[in-house]
Amino acid sequence: MLLHDLMDDAVADVTADLPELARTSRRQGTAARRRRRAITAVGVAVAGTVLAAGVYALVPGDRGSDSTVATDVGTEVRVGELSGRTAPITARGAAAALADAVTDRVPGTISSLQGSADRGEAMATLVFLPDHGPGPAGTVFLNLQPISMAPEKPGCAMPWMATCSLEQQPNGDIRRTYLEEDDTEFGQGSQRLTVEVISPDRGLRLVVSAMNTSPSADGAMGIMPVLTSGELRDIAALPWWGRTRLPVEYVEAGERLDDYADATENES
């Protein structure tokens, strides 16, 4: 007997009133939208100019006509369609870009943004609480470094990797995905899921990770990190990441972030 058939049979006559389901879900979804907007007291619109010709060496990723980054202190940063123009990276811009990349994929609330951009390297971190879970919120971390910072021969045999996979991408990039458990800082039960992209063509090492807890969680741990490996890979694959330049819309949006602190004193 096949498990598939057994499961099929167990729910064979479960039926739903689909029009009613659509109606009630729409109503509940509308209420959720309103709640989300209610915490965004200040709206800052950064209108992006849509240029027909791309400036990026790589085309901008697929995204909506705008997207919203909501922080828990009531700031909304609206980033329009990316124009293709770039500007020198700033710590705030890196934080805004990370926040948008996260919430463009998973609905949720962003808080405690931090960033740094110094000597050809940038970092951003934030705390993210997905809408679909009770929490706790988890830390999301981004690092943009020169490729010289990457391991010479990235592998999966490190003792601190609970799981790991290594993939060669068609464009020559190497992507490593790994899970660390029981982080020394956060203790037993903590998980950090990381996607690392080493891109020889761009001279870039990109690391993006998500945890199942954060410094403000008081030891509470989620059942899994707040982003999945697929979501982290999607974020890492955004074509405009660079350690020295970012889309100008993010650099501008970063200037308007409220719940933000520099991670270092030396922002470039």
Q: Which residues bind other proteins (CB under 8 A)?
A: 1-4, 6-16, 18-19, 21-22, 24-26, 28-33, 36, 62, 64-65, 104-105, 107, 130-134, 162-165, 177, 179, 193, 222-225, 228-231
Secondary structure class of 82 (helix, strand, coil): coil
* Shortest Cβ 61–other proteins spacing (Å): 11
Residues 6+ apart with CB under 8 A from 6: none
Between helix 91-103 and helix 229-236 the angle, nearest 10°, is 130
E strand spans, 119-154: 121-130, 138-146
* Shortest Cβ 22–other proteins spacing (Å): 4
Residues 6+ apart with CB under 8 A from 222: 133, 135, 136, 138, 212, 213
Question: Six-digit token pair at 212?
Answer: 């199942």
* Shortest Cβ 251–other proteins spacing (Å): 24
For other proteins, which is the closer residue by CB, 162 or 261?
162
- In terms of DSSP H, where are the helices of 39-179? 91-103
Question: Six-digit token pair at 237?
Answer: 């694959």
* Shortest Cβ 103–other proteins spacing (Å): 9
For other proteins, which is the closer residue by CB, 58 or 162?
162
For other proteins, which is the closer residue by CB, 90 or 196?
196
Secondary structure class of 246 (helix, strand, coil): strand
For other proteins, which is the closer residue by CB, 163 or 266?
163
* Shortest Cβ 226–other proteins spacing (Å): 9
Amino acid identity for residue 148 in this structure? S
> How, if at all, do strands 191-199 and 204-211 pair?
antiparallel
Task: Tell me which DSSP letter residue 56 carries.
Answer: S
How far apart, in Å, are the Cα atoms of 37 and each of 31, 42, 68, 205? 10, 10, 10, 36
For other proteins, which is the closer residue by CB, 107 or 120?
107
* Shortest Cβ 161–other proteins spacing (Å): 10
How far apart, in Å, are the Cα atoms of 73 and each of 12, 156, 252? 48, 40, 19
Separation of alpha carbons 186 and 181, rounded Å: 10
Q: Most distant CA pair in the chain: distance in Å?
A: 65
* Shortest Cβ 142–other proteins spacing (Å): 19
For other proteins, which is the closer residue by CB, 13 or 218?
13
For other proteins, which is the closer residue by CB, 177 or 190?
177
